[in-house]
Amino acid sequence: METSAYGFTLLYAIEHFEIGEPDDPDDAEEHRVIGVFSSEARAKQAIALLSEKRGFRRWPGGFRICESDVDRLRYPPGQIHAAQEILGGEGVSFPVQDPLRIVYEATFLRLRAGETFDTYRDDLLPTAIGEFSSHELAEAAVESLKDHEDFRDWPDGFRITERVIDEPAYPDGY
């Protein structure tokens, strides 16, 4: 796996939006996280395979690849934070996978009363908190943000999803 300019393990996340090539993902009717990949080449291979599958072929311009640093807390935006340093403090350690095969993706949605991640309105896109090398580190990242002014009114808006690296979701389409 590659290393980012900041020294983190670098992964490539694929998302798919039901939009045309020139359109803005913020205008998408549906959004799907396809998965995380160990290289940009593997991400592009996955897109090539999926673009002919049911559902994806209707929106061939909807794929997006985003670089993602493992164990980097992405909030607040524009700042580089090593999650273990912020969350663990001195002498605290988190489990480490060697080699890295699974990441835990933390996301956030501003859910309305009575909504869940399964029933939220389509006009919202999740805020990415980060991809983490352990579930414990992802949980610690979420806990560190629950009292932040941008999140405190929606304490149930966080979700942690396990993602196997280099295995796309929706391999047969949707």
For 29-65, b where at least 16 C-beta lie within 10 A, e where not — what string? eebbbbbbbbeeebbeebbeebbeeebbeebeebbeb
Decide which of 21 and 158 is more confident. Answer: 158
Q: How far apart are CA 84 and CA 90, in angstroms?
A: 10
Please state the rounded mean pLDDT for residues 125-131.
86
Joined together, the tokens standing for residue 15 give 């998302």
Residue 171 has pLDDT above 80, yes or no: yes
Residue 129, in any domain of the structure: yes
* Domain-located, residue 7: yes
- The angle subtended at Cα 36 by Cα 80 and Cα 153, nearest 5°, is 55
Least confident segment among 24-38, 78-92, 100-114, 146-160: 78-92
Higher pLDDT, 157 or 75: 157
Is the pLDDT confidence value at 127 over 90?
no
The number of distinct structural domains making up the chain is 1
In a domain, 6, yes or no: yes
Distance CA 20, CA 145 (A): 34
In a domain, 171, yes or no: no
Q: Is residue 172 part of a domain?
A: no
Say if 169 falls within a structural domain. Answer: no
pLDDT the model gives residue 14? 95
Domain that holds residue 112: 2-164
Answer yes or no: is 174 within a domain.
no
Cα–Cα dist 81/73, whole Å: 5
Q: What is the mean pLDDT of the chain?
A: 83
